[in-house]
Amino acid sequence: MLKVGFYEKEITPPLGCDIPGYYSKRVSDGVVDKLYIKAVAISDGKETVVMAAADACGMDLGVHDEILKRASEYTGISSDHMSLSATHTHTGIPRKGLPGAPVQGDDAFDEYFIRIGADCITLAVQSMQEAKVKFGKGYVDSISFNRVYNMADGRIQTAPEIGDPEVLGPHGPIDPELTVLYAEDMQGKPMGAIVNFACHPDVIKGTKYSGDWPSVVSYGMKDAYGRDFVSLFVNGTCGNINHVDVMGATEYPPSSHYIKMGKIVAAEAIKAISQAQEVQGDTVASNKVYLKMPERDWDMEKINNAKHIVATIKPIEGLTLALGTGNQEQEDLMVAQQLLRAYDARQEYRMVGVQAARVGDCYLYAVPGEMYVQFGLYVKEHSPSDKNIVAELSHGYSGYIPLKDLMYDTVYESRRTTFVLQPGAGELIAETAAKLAAELAWIRTLKGLER
């Protein structure tokens, strides 16, 4: 019999903290939606796995590691059996550690967040009780779009202008599958669920804290199942997926569009739960590795050009720039500044975490960075099961991770400022995740033979 525990803790920072996510600096001045860290712990009596997620654009590896270390000390559960990811809201908690980002982070908040994050995981473990665990699937294809396009002149470009007549069509797919791992107690009372869907939460914008559309998902789930229900949203591989319909829309979606998106995802998650089937088996296991991956080389001609741009273009104070929506000269300046900051913070290599876990016949994957959707689809296709949760932005922040054959300056996710690893990193990570899951499936087979 499986035991399950959920917990959530508010992590809304003080006003005045930096908000990461854009080229330019933003300082928080209000709250639209409170921010949270949420955790679920699942045990078969011998092994326990934990999956947690925070309303953050990304997470500094040092902060991530301290949270898991502290939680491990409190619970006695190895951090190798824990994953912690960011939802990728662009109006979330302050964060340092993003190469090239014009944000400083906040040491005082980090200290608080480490303690609260570890508490959340610990309390999820402490609240475990016997439960029925079910897996469900839904389908949402109306709110997410592949933002990398084929252009008429042969270019491949990220985020062309809405209505651009040179756009031929998207260069890749979306992942319309929504998956849910749901738990209820032995009396049938809903406890919580992991909700997994792939799309950038970058709708609301501005300088007020919000979890973006995943916050609205949480509201909808609580309305359906009660205020104590915890919906832990983990983002799928959405590095090249956002909410902007370049070919069908006439204007950029307003900030209020996040409410519509959240309601659509919540409704589909609730529908998926109503049709969910109990997972088969009660085996719980985890498999995590860290890959030592070198950073990309630097093009010194581009570094020198960036220095020239910074020296010759005057910044416009107070201008907020986001991809594809701003003044081109100012965007060039911001990119140049970002490149020089990243160059100053360069490293020889990075330790990149990859994890697979099992709950019965459901597989939970925790992969790093903002991976292209194709990698998540690969992991699902090569999984031992058709019951899968794939959470990106886990194990700290590793930048964007695009396909190895898309190394063009017109592809935002492939620029040296956004993609810090070597080409081919994403393919290796996806293959590693699939191998880790295959090893867990083999363990299950051996256990079955023993019985």
Instruction: Map 326-373 to HEC letters.
Output: CCHHHHHHHHHHHHHHHHHCCCCEEEEEEEEEEECCEEEEECCCEECH
The whole-number pLDDT of residue 410 equals 95
- Residues 93 and 160 both lie in one domain: yes
Q: For the chain, what is the radius of gyration of the CA atoms?
A: 21
Whole domain around residue 333: which residue ranges? 299-344
Q: Does 263 share its domain with 337?
A: no
Amino acid at 13: P
Q: Indicate the residue among 327, 344, 361 that finishes a domain.
A: 344
- Domain match, 217 and 102 both: yes
User: Are 56 and 120 in the same domain?
Assistant: yes
CB atoms within 10 A of CB 141: 10
Q: According to the model, what pLDDT value does residue 320 have?
A: 60
Tell whether 218 and 359 lie within a shared domain. yes
Distance CA 114, CA 70 (A): 8
In this prediction, residue 448 carries a pLDDT of 46
- Contact yes or no for 229/192 (Cβ under 8 A): yes
Domain end residue (candidates: 326, 344, 362) = 344
- Total number of domains in the chain: 2
Give the per-residue pLDDT at 102: 63
**267 φ/ψ angles, rounded to the nearest 5 degrees:** -60, -40
Per the CB < 8 A criterion, the answer to whether 27 and 104 are in contact is no
Say yes or no: 258 and 304 in one domain: no
Within the chain, which residues score under 70 in pLDDT?
A: 97-103, 318-326, 443-451
What's residue 159's pLDDT?
Answer: 95
Distance CA 264, CA 398 (A): 30
Strands 241-242 and 230-235, how do they pair?
unpaired
Distances (CA, A) of 126 to 27, 64, 94, 282, 319: 36, 21, 29, 19, 47
Q: Looking at the structure, tell me whether residues 412 and 426 fall in a common domain.
A: yes
What pLDDT is attached to residue 321?
Answer: 57
Going by their DSSP bridges, the two strands 362-366 and 388-391 should be labelled as: parallel
Clarify whether residues 256 and 189 are in a common domain: yes
Model's pTM, two decimal places? 0.94
Residues 6+ apart with CB under 8 A from 405: none
Three-state DSSP class for 446?
helix
Q: Tell me whether residue 389 is exposed, middle or buried, using C-beta atoms within 10 angstroms of its C-beta: 0 to 12, 13 to 18, 19 or more.
A: buried
Whether residue 42 is found in the same domain as residue 95: yes
Going by C-alpha positions, the residue among 345, 349, 286 that lies closest to residue 68 is 286
Q: Is the distance from CB of 94 to CB of 107 less than 8 angstroms?
A: no
The confidence score (pLDDT) of residue 315 equals 80
- Read off the DSSP letter of residue 13: P
Q: Name every residue whose Cβ is closer than 8 Å to that of residue 111 and which is 6 or more positions away in sequence.
A: none
Locate 401 and state its tokens: 């991770």
Residue with token string 């792939």? 198
CA distances from 55 to 92, 121, 345, 373 (A): 6, 15, 25, 21
Residue type, 209: Y
pLDDT, residue 450, reads 35
Helices 328-344 and 300-312 pack at an angle, to 10 degrees, of 130
Q: Is 376 helix (H, G, I), strand (E, B) or coil?
A: helix
Same domain, yes or no: 211 and 311: no
Taking the C-alpha atoms of residue 344 and residue 350, their distance in angstroms, rounded to an integer, is 16
Q: How many CB atoms lie within 10 A of CB 335?
A: 20
Residues in a beta bridge with 388: 363
Question: Which region, left, alpha or beta, applies to residue 175 given φ > 0 means left and ψ of -120 to 50 means alpha?
Answer: beta
Are 213 and 283 found together in one domain?
Answer: yes
Which residues on neighbouring strands pair with residue 156, listed in sequence order?
Answer: 150
Q: Where are the beta strands (DSSP E) in 32-128?
A: 36-43, 48-54, 82-86
Q: How far apart are CA 451 and CA 448, in angstroms?
A: 5
Query: Is the domain of 332 the same as that of 267?
Result: no
